[in-house]
Amino acid sequence: MRISTSWAQQLGVNSMLAQQARLSQTQMQLSLGKKVLTPSDDPVAATRIIDLNQGIRQAEQYQNNINAARQRLSMEDGVLQGAVDVLHRIKELGVQGLNATNSQNDRIAIAVEMEELNRQLLGLANTRNANGEYLFSGFKTDTPPFSKNSAGGYDYAGDRNRREIQIASDRRITDGDFGEAVFGVPTGAAPALGPSGPVGNVFEAIDKFAADLRANAPQGSSLDDIAEALEKMLTTEASVGVRLNALDRQEDVNSGHILELQTLLSETEDLDYTEAISRFNLQAVSLQAAQQAYAKVQDLSLFKFL
């Protein structure tokens, strides 16, 4: 078989170009610290890297959701604690007002303080977070949940929805409570004086108690209504605490999952510098040898022997 001179030269050039390409790729790997530079380098590893990065981003989004839910629930917890303190004071005033030794003026003074505390409680029910959203309006976060109407009763302008937020691939949690579930359902009418049935809304129950105190005819049933409202609020507060604890536990689980994914990602894409440097040196020597051999072959000529 006859091999032409040009073909021999082209084979030598192709060999050096291949060596140069391998050396350049190793150099790029060392520069970036990655084993897989393009999908064609290792299609299976490239697919795994994409999946792992997506899993990490998703888990990090769950962590962001947990932080958002924690801020909202922590704020609700603080508001509920303030509301509980107000109701405890109102309950104390109610017990005091039922004492038969009180004069009408004494009861009017108690009613004045009770009404002021009720306004404070209404303000707590209409609390907004840092984003300007009302905590207890359900999905209607731009609407104040409770207001006092012209008839002397109370209206609820929110809805009965609870916002759920994803904190894991298979877990969601509510990050708030709507107003009627916490403060009771208002009738919209001013409570009637004297004996009556249970009053389910805490603002109306307090107003009724205050009005009966002003009339010097306090009803023990009003104290029962306030005690029931306090119990409902304490139950909600306990539920918020349970959810906050659940967020803490899920955050730890998510953190462990992220660390596991990052470890797998590192094993898949991070470069072994010891192996890569050894390979780089070997490839550099191979390229140098190929270049020297090509130069020697190019130097061969019959004219040198004439």
- Give the model's pLDDT for residue 48: 87
pLDDT at 76: 96
At residue 183's C-alpha, the angle toward residues 145 and 210, to 5°, is 105
161 falls within a domain: yes
Q: Is residue 236 part of a domain?
A: yes
Q: Give the DSSP letter string of the chain.
A: ----HHHHHHHHHHHHHHHHHHHHHHHHHHHHTBS-SSGGG-HHHHHHHHHHHHHHHHHHHHHHHHHHHHHHHHHHHHHHHHHHHHHHHHHHHHHHHT-TT--HHHHHHHHHHHHHHHHHHHHHHT-B-TTS-BTTSTT-TTS-SEEE-TTS-EEE-S-S---EEEEETTEEEE----HHHHH----SSPPPSSS-S---SHHHHHHHHHHHHHTT---HHHHHHHHHHHHHHHHHHHHHHHHHHHHHHHHHHHHHHHHHHHHHHHHHHB--HHHHHHHHHHHHHHHHHHHHHHHHHHH--GGGG-
| Residues near 172 by beta carbon (within 8 Å), at least 6 away in sequence | 164, 165, 166
Q: Cα separation of 263 and 52, whole Å?
A: 10
Rounded to a whole number of angstroms, the CA Rg of the chain reads 38
Partnered with residue 128 across adjacent β-strands are: 134
CATH number of the domain enclosing 76: 1.20.1330.10
Domain match, 287 and 166 both: no
Q: Look at residue 117 in the predicted model and tell me its pLDDT.
A: 97
Its pTM stands at 0.79
Residue 108 and residue 26 share a domain? no
Residues 79 and 172 in one domain: yes
CA–CA separation, 254 and 163 (whole Å) = 21
| CA atoms within 13 A of residue 83's CA, in its CB half-sphere | 29
Question: Domain limits at 14?
Answer: 5-33+272-305
pLDDT, tens digit, for every residue of 156-168?
999 999 999 999 9
Whether residues 78 and 140 fall in one domain: yes
Tens-binned pLDDT, residue by residue, of the chain (306 aa):
555 555 555 655 666 666 666 656 666 666 666 777 677 667 888 888 889 999 999 999 999 999 999 999 999 999 999 999 999 999 999 999 999 999 999 999 999 999 999 999 999 999 999 889 999 999 999 999 999 999 999 999 999 999 999 999 999 999 999 999 999 999 999 888 888 889 999 999 999 999 999 999 999 999 999 999 999 999 999 999 999 999 999 999 999 999 999 999 888 876 756 766 666 667 666 656 666 666 665 655 544 555
State whether 172 and 277 are in the same domain: no
Residues 290, 163 share a domain: no
Question: Residue 208 in contact with residue 220, Cβ under 8 Å?
Answer: no
Integer CA distances (angstroms), 130 to 79, 133, 248, in order: 14, 7, 22
Judgement on whether residues 144 and 288 belong to the same structural domain of the protein:
no
pLDDT value of residue 253: 96
pLDDT value of position 87: 96
Which residue has 């019959």 as its token pair?
Answer: 302
Answer yes or no: do 61 and 167 share one domain. yes
222 shares its domain with 131: yes
Domain count, the chain: 2
Domain membership of residue 39 (yes or no) is no
Same domain for 112 and 184, yes or no, is: yes
In a domain, 231, yes or no: yes
What's residue 197's pLDDT?
A: 84
Residues 231 and 118 in one domain: yes
Looking at the structure, do residues 176 and 292 belong to the same domain, yes or no?
A: no
